[in-house]
Amino acid sequence: MRILLAEDDPVIADGICRALKRGGYAIDHVATGSDADAALASQPYDLLILDLGLPKLPGIEVLKRLRARKSAIPVLILTAQDGVEDRVRGLDAGADDYMTKPFALPELEARVRAHTRRGTGQPRCIEIGNLSYDQADRVVKINGQMIELSAREVGLLEVFILRVGRLVSKDQLVDHLCGWGEEVSSNAIEVYVHRLRKKLEDSGIRIVTVRGLGYCLENPDVLQTAKV
Protein backbone atom coordinates (compact mmCIF):
# COMPACT_ATOMS: atom_id res chain seq x y z
CA MET A 1 0.00 0.00 0.00
CA ARG A 2 1.29 3.44 -0.94
CA ILE A 3 0.51 6.46 1.22
CA LEU A 4 1.11 10.17 0.70
CA LEU A 5 1.75 12.22 3.85
CA ALA A 6 1.29 15.99 3.48
CA GLU A 7 2.70 17.46 6.71
CA ASP A 8 4.94 20.50 7.18
CA ASP A 9 6.11 19.71 10.73
CA PRO A 10 9.34 17.69 10.24
CA VAL A 11 9.18 16.03 13.68
CA ILE A 12 5.61 14.83 13.23
CA ALA A 13 6.30 13.75 9.66
CA ASP A 14 9.38 11.78 10.66
CA GLY A 15 7.51 9.94 13.40
CA ILE A 16 4.62 9.02 11.12
CA CYS A 17 6.90 7.91 8.30
CA ARG A 18 8.96 5.69 10.58
CA ALA A 19 5.89 4.06 12.12
CA LEU A 20 4.16 3.36 8.82
CA LYS A 21 7.31 2.05 7.18
CA ARG A 22 7.67 -0.40 10.08
CA GLY A 23 4.14 -1.49 9.29
CA GLY A 24 5.13 -2.37 5.72
CA TYR A 25 3.66 0.66 3.96
CA ALA A 26 5.39 2.63 1.23
CA ILE A 27 5.11 6.28 2.23
CA ASP A 28 5.97 9.49 0.38
CA HIS A 29 6.23 12.78 2.27
CA VAL A 30 5.66 16.35 1.07
CA ALA A 31 5.76 19.51 3.19
CA THR A 32 3.73 21.93 1.07
CA GLY A 33 0.24 21.95 -0.39
CA SER A 34 1.52 22.61 -3.90
CA ASP A 35 3.81 19.56 -3.74
CA ALA A 36 0.93 17.46 -2.42
CA ASP A 37 -1.32 18.58 -5.27
CA ALA A 38 1.37 17.79 -7.84
CA ALA A 39 2.06 14.34 -6.38
CA LEU A 40 -1.64 13.44 -6.26
CA ALA A 41 -2.13 14.56 -9.85
CA SER A 42 0.76 12.46 -11.15
CA GLN A 43 0.72 9.24 -9.12
CA PRO A 44 -1.91 6.90 -7.65
CA TYR A 45 -2.06 6.45 -3.87
CA ASP A 46 -4.05 4.21 -1.55
CA LEU A 47 -4.40 6.88 1.18
CA LEU A 48 -3.69 10.57 1.75
CA ILE A 49 -2.85 11.84 5.25
CA LEU A 50 -3.41 15.58 5.00
CA ASP A 51 -2.56 18.51 7.26
CA LEU A 52 -4.85 21.50 6.66
CA GLY A 53 -2.27 24.14 7.63
CA LEU A 54 0.14 23.55 4.76
CA PRO A 55 2.24 26.37 3.22
CA LYS A 56 1.87 27.47 -0.43
CA LEU A 57 -1.53 25.81 -0.83
CA PRO A 58 -3.97 25.17 2.05
CA GLY A 59 -4.78 21.54 2.76
CA ILE A 60 -8.50 22.14 2.22
CA GLU A 61 -7.69 23.36 -1.32
CA VAL A 62 -5.57 20.26 -1.95
CA LEU A 63 -8.58 18.17 -0.93
CA LYS A 64 -11.00 20.10 -3.13
CA ARG A 65 -8.72 19.76 -6.15
CA LEU A 66 -8.32 16.04 -5.48
CA ARG A 67 -12.08 15.48 -5.44
CA ALA A 68 -12.55 17.74 -8.47
CA ARG A 69 -10.35 15.27 -10.38
CA LYS A 70 -12.86 12.56 -9.39
CA SER A 71 -10.30 10.76 -7.24
CA ALA A 72 -11.89 8.50 -4.64
CA ILE A 73 -8.81 7.68 -2.55
CA PRO A 74 -9.42 7.82 1.21
CA VAL A 75 -8.32 11.06 2.89
CA LEU A 76 -7.44 11.28 6.58
CA ILE A 77 -7.12 14.86 7.80
CA LEU A 78 -4.54 15.30 10.56
CA THR A 79 -4.51 18.87 11.85
CA ALA A 80 -4.34 21.22 14.81
CA GLN A 81 -7.57 22.86 13.64
CA ASP A 82 -9.93 21.18 16.10
CA GLY A 83 -13.09 23.30 15.98
CA VAL A 84 -16.43 21.75 15.01
CA GLU A 85 -16.62 24.11 12.02
CA ASP A 86 -13.16 22.97 10.87
CA ARG A 87 -14.18 19.30 11.06
CA VAL A 88 -17.43 19.94 9.21
CA ARG A 89 -15.60 21.92 6.52
CA GLY A 90 -13.05 19.17 6.02
CA LEU A 91 -15.60 16.36 5.87
CA ASP A 92 -17.86 18.34 3.55
CA ALA A 93 -14.91 18.94 1.23
CA GLY A 94 -14.50 15.19 0.80
CA ALA A 95 -12.38 13.90 3.70
CA ASP A 96 -13.14 10.42 5.02
CA ASP A 97 -11.75 10.90 8.51
CA TYR A 98 -10.50 13.65 10.81
CA MET A 99 -7.91 13.54 13.60
CA THR A 100 -6.66 16.45 15.65
CA LYS A 101 -3.19 17.12 17.03
CA PRO A 102 -1.82 16.07 19.44
CA PHE A 103 -2.71 12.49 18.57
CA ALA A 104 -1.81 8.97 19.66
CA LEU A 105 0.34 7.23 17.07
CA PRO A 106 -1.25 3.77 17.65
CA GLU A 107 -4.68 5.29 16.91
CA LEU A 108 -3.38 6.84 13.70
CA GLU A 109 -1.91 3.48 12.64
CA ALA A 110 -5.25 1.77 13.38
CA ARG A 111 -7.13 4.31 11.27
CA VAL A 112 -4.64 3.90 8.44
CA ARG A 113 -5.20 0.13 8.52
CA ALA A 114 -8.96 0.62 8.48
CA HIS A 115 -8.92 3.01 5.52
CA THR A 116 -6.51 1.00 3.41
CA ARG A 117 -8.54 -2.14 4.13
CA ARG A 118 -11.77 -0.48 3.00
CA GLY A 119 -10.01 0.77 -0.12
CA THR A 120 -9.26 -2.79 -1.26
CA GLY A 121 -12.93 -3.77 -1.18
CA GLN A 122 -11.87 -7.01 0.54
CA PRO A 123 -12.96 -8.44 3.91
CA ARG A 124 -10.68 -8.03 6.90
CA CYS A 125 -9.49 -11.64 6.71
CA ILE A 126 -8.67 -13.08 3.28
CA GLU A 127 -8.23 -16.84 2.87
CA ILE A 128 -6.46 -18.46 -0.08
CA GLY A 129 -5.57 -22.15 0.06
CA ASN A 130 -4.30 -22.88 3.57
CA LEU A 131 -3.23 -19.28 4.07
CA SER A 132 -5.14 -16.52 5.83
CA TYR A 133 -4.22 -12.85 5.89
CA ASP A 134 -5.67 -10.38 8.40
CA GLN A 135 -5.53 -6.96 6.73
CA ALA A 136 -6.15 -5.06 9.97
CA ASP A 137 -3.44 -6.67 12.08
CA ARG A 138 -1.30 -7.63 9.05
CA VAL A 139 -0.99 -11.16 10.41
CA VAL A 140 -0.34 -14.15 8.15
CA LYS A 141 -1.26 -17.71 9.15
CA ILE A 142 -0.81 -21.09 7.47
CA ASN A 143 -3.10 -23.86 8.69
CA GLY A 144 -4.01 -21.62 11.62
CA GLN A 145 -0.38 -21.11 12.69
CA MET A 146 1.12 -17.63 12.55
CA ILE A 147 4.21 -17.33 10.36
CA GLU A 148 6.97 -14.77 10.80
CA LEU A 149 7.30 -12.33 7.89
CA SER A 150 9.25 -9.10 7.68
CA ALA A 151 7.30 -5.88 7.04
CA ARG A 152 8.46 -5.88 3.42
CA GLU A 153 7.46 -9.53 2.96
CA VAL A 154 3.99 -8.77 4.34
CA GLY A 155 3.70 -5.85 1.94
CA LEU A 156 4.77 -8.06 -0.95
CA LEU A 157 2.31 -10.80 -0.01
CA GLU A 158 -0.48 -8.23 0.30
CA VAL A 159 0.14 -7.00 -3.25
CA PHE A 160 -0.09 -10.58 -4.56
CA ILE A 161 -3.16 -11.48 -2.50
CA LEU A 162 -5.11 -8.44 -3.65
CA ARG A 163 -4.26 -9.34 -7.26
CA VAL A 164 -4.55 -13.10 -7.04
CA GLY A 165 -4.57 -14.71 -10.47
CA ARG A 166 -3.28 -11.53 -12.13
CA LEU A 167 0.17 -10.60 -13.40
CA VAL A 168 2.13 -8.18 -11.21
CA SER A 169 5.21 -6.57 -12.77
CA LYS A 170 8.40 -5.77 -10.87
CA ASP A 171 7.73 -2.07 -11.43
CA GLN A 172 4.33 -2.43 -9.76
CA LEU A 173 5.93 -4.17 -6.80
CA VAL A 174 8.46 -1.36 -6.42
CA ASP A 175 5.68 1.25 -6.60
CA HIS A 176 3.70 -0.45 -3.84
CA LEU A 177 6.62 -1.33 -1.58
CA CYS A 178 8.92 1.67 -1.78
CA GLY A 179 8.62 5.36 -1.05
CA TRP A 180 10.54 8.18 -2.70
CA GLY A 181 14.28 7.94 -2.24
CA GLU A 182 14.24 4.20 -1.53
CA GLU A 183 16.37 2.42 -4.08
CA VAL A 184 15.19 -1.13 -4.72
CA SER A 185 16.74 -3.03 -7.60
CA SER A 186 15.19 -5.72 -9.74
CA ASN A 187 17.53 -8.21 -8.06
CA ALA A 188 16.28 -7.15 -4.62
CA ILE A 189 12.69 -7.84 -5.68
CA GLU A 190 13.74 -11.31 -6.81
CA VAL A 191 15.34 -11.93 -3.40
CA TYR A 192 12.19 -10.81 -1.55
CA VAL A 193 10.02 -13.06 -3.72
CA HIS A 194 12.38 -16.01 -3.18
CA ARG A 195 12.26 -15.56 0.61
CA LEU A 196 8.49 -15.25 0.57
CA ARG A 197 8.13 -18.41 -1.52
CA LYS A 198 10.18 -20.38 1.01
CA LYS A 199 7.94 -19.23 3.86
CA LEU A 200 4.75 -20.09 1.94
CA GLU A 201 5.73 -23.64 0.99
CA ASP A 202 3.00 -25.19 3.19
CA SER A 203 0.28 -22.72 2.26
CA GLY A 204 -1.12 -24.38 -0.85
CA ILE A 205 -0.45 -21.27 -2.95
CA ARG A 206 2.29 -20.64 -5.47
CA ILE A 207 3.99 -17.48 -6.75
CA VAL A 208 4.81 -18.14 -10.40
CA THR A 209 7.48 -16.23 -12.31
CA VAL A 210 6.35 -15.05 -15.72
CA ARG A 211 9.72 -14.55 -17.36
CA GLY A 212 10.32 -11.01 -18.53
CA LEU A 213 6.96 -9.79 -17.22
CA GLY A 214 6.69 -10.31 -13.47
CA TYR A 215 4.90 -12.65 -11.07
CA CYS A 216 1.49 -14.16 -10.50
CA LEU A 217 -0.04 -15.65 -7.36
CA GLU A 218 -1.96 -18.69 -8.52
CA ASN A 219 -5.44 -19.16 -7.08
CA PRO A 220 -5.59 -22.76 -5.81
CA ASP A 221 -9.41 -22.72 -5.80
CA VAL A 222 -9.49 -21.91 -9.52
CA LEU A 223 -6.82 -24.53 -10.27
CA GLN A 224 -8.74 -27.20 -8.32
CA THR A 225 -11.95 -26.35 -10.21
CA ALA A 226 -10.12 -26.64 -13.51
CA LYS A 227 -8.98 -30.18 -12.65
CA VAL A 228 -12.47 -31.44 -11.83
For 107, counting Cβ atoms within 10 Å of its Cβ (0-12 exposed, 13-18 middle, 19+ buried), the class is exposed
From the options 1.10.10.10, 3.40.50.970, 2.60.90.10, 3.40.190.10, give the CATH code of 125-227: 1.10.10.10
Least confident of 22-26, 47-51, 92-96: 22-26
With beta carbons less than 8 A apart as the criterion, state whether 96 and 75 touch: yes
CA neighbor of 133 nearest in space, from 110, 152, 117: 117
Ranges assigned E (strand) in 1-130: 2-6, 26-30, 47-50, 75-79, 97-100, 125-128
The secondary structure of 70-86, three-state, reads: CCCCCEEEEECCCCHHH
Domain assignments of the chain as residue spans, ordered by start? 2-120, 125-227
Q: pTM (2 decimals)?
A: 0.66
Least confident of 98-102, 108-112, 218-222: 218-222
Report the pLDDT value the prediction gives residue 55, as an integer from 0 to 100: 95
Cα separation, 111 vs 108, in Å, equals 5
Cα separation, 148 vs 126, in Å, equals 17
Mean pLDDT of 102-126: 79
Report the pLDDT value the prediction gives residue 181, as an integer from 0 to 100: 58
The domain covering 2-120 belongs, at the CATH homologous superfamily level, to Response regulator (3.40.50.2300)
